[in-house]
Amino acid sequence: MQYKSSLRYLPVLALLLLGSCSQEFLVETNPNAIATANYYKTENDVLLALNGVYQSLRDNNGIAEGSGLYSEERSDNTGRNDNQSNAGEPFQFNAFALLPSNSYLQTHWNSLYQTITRANYMLAGSETVTFAKTDTKAQYQAEAKFIRALIYFNLVRKWGDVPLVTKPLTVPEEVAASTFREKKEKVYAQIVADLTDVVNSPLPDVQSAANKGRVSKVAGNALLGQVYLTMATTLDAANRATNLNQAKTYLTNAYNKRTFGLLKEIPYPDVFDVTKKTTNPEAIFQIVYKQGDINYSSNIAANNQAQGENTNSLKTTTGTGGNVKPDLVKDYEEGDVRKDYSIKYANAAVVKDYYITKFRDASSGAGTSGYGGNDWLLIRYADVILMLAEVNMYLGDEATAIGFLDQVRERAKLPLYAVAQTNPAYSAKYPTLKLAILHERRVELAFENQRWFDLLRFFTPTELVAYFKSKSQADYGIAQLTNFGTKDYYYPIPFNEAKLNPTGMYQNPGY
C-alpha cells in the first residue's frame, strides 16, 4: 500500500532545508541527505534544524506573505473576480464553492503539515544531544513548540478536527496509525500545552534587533491569549468564563511587556516601513525577508501593485493588483488614515478599481525587479490591544474594553468611541460594542490574514450565514453570496487525505 498523505515519513534531513544561523534563517547549505537518525550530534545540529523549521514559514502555500488565498480571500475583504484562471480553483475559496479535490487546498494542507513535521523532527533530535547549557535546549524547544502550535492553530480553525502528530513518523505503519482526525478539543489542548511551555521557558521577553523573527515570550503570551479567546468563543460554552479569563491573563502579559506607552506613539505607516522594521516596537512575531535578494526578498509589494501605479514598487506591472472588495472600502470611516495608507484607486484603463498599498517598498534597494524588504507581521500589538478590548467586552468590563478600542482609534485619527456613537451613521452600522470592535479589527488589520478568523470567532455558523447574506452583492464582486452556508464555516478535508482512511478522515458536513 502506498502512503501519499502529507503526514508521510520524511526519511532524510535534507527535507529540513537547513540553513545558516542568521536573522533571516536563510537556506544556504545542503545537508546532503544525511539520515535523521545519524544527524543530531551537537547542539549546533539542533540549531540548524530549528532554522529549517523557521524557513518553512516562508512557504506561500502555508502562512507566509503570499498565503492570502487561504484566509483573506475567504473573507469579505478580498477575493478575485476571475473565475477562469487555473481551472477556476482559486476562485472557489471566495465563492464558497470549494471542492475537496481543489489542488490549492491540498497544497495548503501539505505545507502546514510539513512545518509540523520539521518541528517534530527537531524536537525529537534535541533530546538526543548533550547541551552545554540546559537553557539553550529549553529555548530551542520553546521556539519549535511555538511554531508547531501556530500551525496547529491555523489547522484547527480552518478544518476543525485534524490529525494530531507530535513525534516523527518513521515507518508506514506509524503514518497509517496517525491518519485520522483528532477532536478539535484535543488539538487545542496540545496547542495550549506547547504555548504554556513557551511562556514558561527561558526565552527573552523581547528579541533583540539582530534576532528579529525569532520567537519571544511576548509572542508566546500573545498567541496563547488568542488561542484561549478562540476557545472561549467557539468551543463548549461551559468553559467560556475560564477561557476568557485565561485569555485576559496572557494578552495582558503580552501587553505589559511592550516597549512603548500608547499605540499613538507609533505612526501607522511606521509599522510597515521597511527602513524601520528592525526597530519597530509594534512587531511581536514576523517572517523576515531580505531586501534585494532574488531568493529571500519579499514580493508582496510588487504583487499587490496595479498597472500604471508606482506606490508599492519600482517594478512595472500589467496586473490589477491586490483585490479590494467595495464592501471593505465602504467600511473605512471618513478621515481614517489607514484607508489612504492601505488602499488606492487605480485609474488605468484596464483596472479602475482599488488595490492594496499597505505593503510598500519602492526603494532603489528593492529595484525594478521588486525584490522588497517587507517583513510579514504575524502578530503585532494593535492586534493584542483589540483582543484585549474583545475579551474585556465579553467579561462585562465595557469601560476597559472601550479604553483599548480607543487606543487604536486615536492612532487612526478617528473620534473616540463615545463620540463616534453620537454619529448616526456609525451607530447604525455598529450598534453594539462587539460590532464596533469587529469593525476596528477589520480596518486596522486588513490584508494581514486575520479577517476570516475574526469572523469565525465573532459569529456562530448560523450567525455567520446571516451576516454574509445581509451584505450587498454589488459590493462583493462576482462571487455569489447566496452560495454561503453553514458548511463554509470549515474547509473540506482534501480528497487525497480523506481517501487514505475514509472512516478516520471523515469529511466535514456539506461536502
| pLDDT number for residue 9 | 34
Query: What are the distances in angstroms from CA 505 to CA 6, 148, 353?
Result: 13, 21, 42
Please tell me whether residue 375 adopts helix, strand or coil conformation.
coil
Burial readout 427-442 (b: 16 or more C-beta within 10 A, e: otherwise): eeebeebeebbbbbbb
pLDDT at 10: 38
Q: What distance in Å separates the CA atoms of residue 266 and residue 281, rounded to the nearest whole number?
A: 8
pLDDT in tens, 437-459: 999 999 999 999 999 999 999 99
Residue 34 has pLDDT above 70, yes or no: no
pLDDT in tens, 56-88: 999 999 999 999 999 999 999 999 999 999 999
Average pLDDT over residues 385-389: 99
Rg (CA), the chain: 22
Q: DSSP string covering 140-197, please? A: HHHHHHHHHHHHHHHHHHHHSSB----S---SHHHHHHH-SPBPHHHHHHHHHHHHHH
Say if CB 152 and CB 116 are below 8 A apart: yes
Confidence of residue 265 (pLDDT cuts 50, 70, 90): very high
Residue-wise pLDDT tens digits, 454-474: 999 999 999 999 999 999 999
DSSP state of 372: B
Give the model's confidence band at 162: pLDDT under 50 very low, under 70 low, under 90 confident, else very high. Answer: very high
Average model confidence (pLDDT) across the chain: 93
Rounded CA-CA distance 419/19 in Å is 53
Q: What is the pLDDT of residue 23?
A: 38
What are the start and end residues of each CATH 1.25.40.390 domain in the chain?
Answer: 13-203
Cβ neighbours of residue 45 closer than 8 Å, sequence gap 6 or more:
39, 125, 129
How far, in Å, CA of 478 to CA of 6, rounded?
33
Which neighbouring-strand residues pair with 35? 12
Q: What is the mean pLDDT of residues 23-44?
A: 59
Q: Give the phi and the psi of residue 235 in degrees, each rounded to 5.
A: -105, -165
**pLDDT more than 70, % of the chain:** 93
Note the pLDDT of residue 38. Answer: 75
User: Does the structure show a pLDDT above 70 at 37?
Assistant: no
Band (pLDDT 50/70/90 cuts) for residue 350 is: confident
Query: Is pLDDT of 17 > 80?
Result: no
Question: Residue 36 — very low, low, confident or very high, per pLDDT cuts 50/70/90?
Answer: low
Buried b (16+ CB within 10 A) or exposed e, 45-80: bbbbbbbbbbbbbbbbbbbbbbbbbbbbbbbbbbbb
Question: Where does residue 237 rank: exposed (0-12), middle (13-18), buried (19+ CB within 10 A)?
Answer: exposed
* pLDDT at residue 35 in the model: 57
Model pLDDT, residue 32:
41
159, 177 contact by CB (below 8 A): no
- The candidate with the shortest Cα–Cα distance to 490, out of 7, 159, 8, is 159
Alpha helices in 355-476 (DSSP H): 381-394, 398-411, 417-420, 424-429, 433-444, 451-458, 461-469
User: For residue 84, what pLDDT is reported?
Assistant: 94
Residue 22 pLDDT exceeds 80? no
* DSSP one-letter code for 324: -
Mean pLDDT throughout 283-287?
98
Contact residues for 364 (Cβ-Cβ < 8 A; gap 6+): 314
Per-residue pLDDT at 186 exceeds 50: yes
Q: At residue 4, does pLDDT exceed 50?
A: no
What is the structure's pLDDT at 26?
34
pTM score, whole prediction = 0.93
**Overall size of the chain counted in residues:** 511
CATH architecture under which domain 13-203 falls = Alpha Horseshoe (1.25)
Question: Nearest 10 degrees: CA dihedral of 360, 361, 362, 364?
Answer: 170
The answer to whether the beta carbons of residues 451 and 442 sit under 8 Å apart is yes
Q: Are 308 and 351 in contact (CB under 8 A)?
A: yes
Mean pLDDT across the stretch 208-219?
96
